[in-house]
Amino acid sequence: MVLSMYVDADESRAEDERLLQVAIEQALLAGELGFNPWFTEHHFRGPWHSAPIQFAAYIASQLPEDRHIGFGVLSVPYHHPVRLVEQMNLLDQLTKGRTLFGLGSGFPGIEPASAGLSVEYHGSGQATRDSLAVMERLWDYETGDEPYEFETGNWHGRVEKRIMPSAYRARRPTIIRTARTNEAAIDAAKRGWPAFLGVLGADITEQAPIYHEALAKAGHTDEVIAECLRWSTVDWLSVLVAPTDEEAEALVIEARTERLELRERFLRNSSGEVHGPTLSTGPASATPAAFAAGSDMSRVIFGNPDTVAKHVARISDLGMNHLLIRFLGEWHGRTRPIAEQSMRLFADEVMPQFI
């Protein structure tokens, strides 16, 4: 996961160019080391997160041909459904199907308000459900079908021709749906979608069997099931790899300290509530206060490569094949060497154990 989020819009305009270059460097190094670079969508939080599809398209053209790129996640309600489907299909074509589209709601707070979303409509998840229903119909729509009219809580339109371009080969691009609850995991399985499992405090040891059972019962083809199992994803919020366990433990303190410093400054300059990823128990506990206190770093995965590999093995044993890693260390700050060392050690000594 390429991140430089804790940068307020009040920061100097001159910083935008430097921060963009830092993010480019991180993404290209990730691709060079064998990772699939992933991006996320946030607004008023750094100079490139607000347009991640455009940023990813720029990066994709510079990666080795066998790399994928991904989004964790695109905030569906912020986009007109027609425009989002067009952009997803185009990037899917340009990368020859090697783009993974994590889709979700985004966090409550100042971002949805800027996109014209009400607290109730966005926070309940209904905005995302409405948009996804429209998008599914758009991927199926063919020229010559009866005109399709739609209206969500903040978008409307009338479609009379198919979306161009189509997705690369399948009916739609590869979608990975955020599953904060077991019900959401079951819904993703029934749709034949890979899922983000174990997010925001959800128990991956509970969710993975539930998802796999629902997937087996859904009546999908072997091809659909294989794709779901390949790309269903576990999100590791805070990971640090060092040559020894003792060094890793010391570096965790250093990296965590800088992240909290940057976050405190960001929140101090923010005019509204800011949410973020946490490890609190359930979505109801994922509050701005928990985010500010660093809940996402309350269970850091750290150690030497073999120690970290044992954690990976536990995920693999649950039948999960894709791991989204957020390494500790700020690429635009003083702890960049910590994050870069983690990336290199993970690529050189952890990943080969699972290939």
The pTM is what?
0.92
Distance separating alpha carbons of residues 113 and 119, to the nearest angstrom: 8
Mean of pLDDT values over 87-92: 98
With tokens 């021709």, the residue in question is 161
Q: b/e for 243-266, b at 16 or more Cβ within 10 A?
A: eeeebbeebbeebbebbeebbeeb
- Per-residue model confidence as pLDDT tens digits over 96-135: 999 999 998 887 777 888 899 998 999 888 999 999 999 9
Give the pLDDT band (50/70/90) at residue 272. low
pLDDT attached to residue 5: 74
Kindly write down the DSSP assignment for every residue of 123-153, as one continuous string.
Answer: HTSHHHHHHHHHHHHHHH--TTSPPEEEE-S
Q: Which residues pair with 197 in a beta bridge?
A: 234
For position 284, what pLDDT does the model report? 46
Q: Give the pLDDT of residue 279.
A: 67
Confidence of residue 283 (pLDDT cuts 50, 70, 90): very low
pLDDT in tens, 157-203: 999 999 999 999 989 999 999 888 899 899 999 999 999 998 877 88
Return the closest-CA partner of residue 276 out of 257, 259, 300: 259
Contact 320, 228 (CB under 8 A): no
Dump pLDDT digits (tens) for 336-345: 999 999 999 9
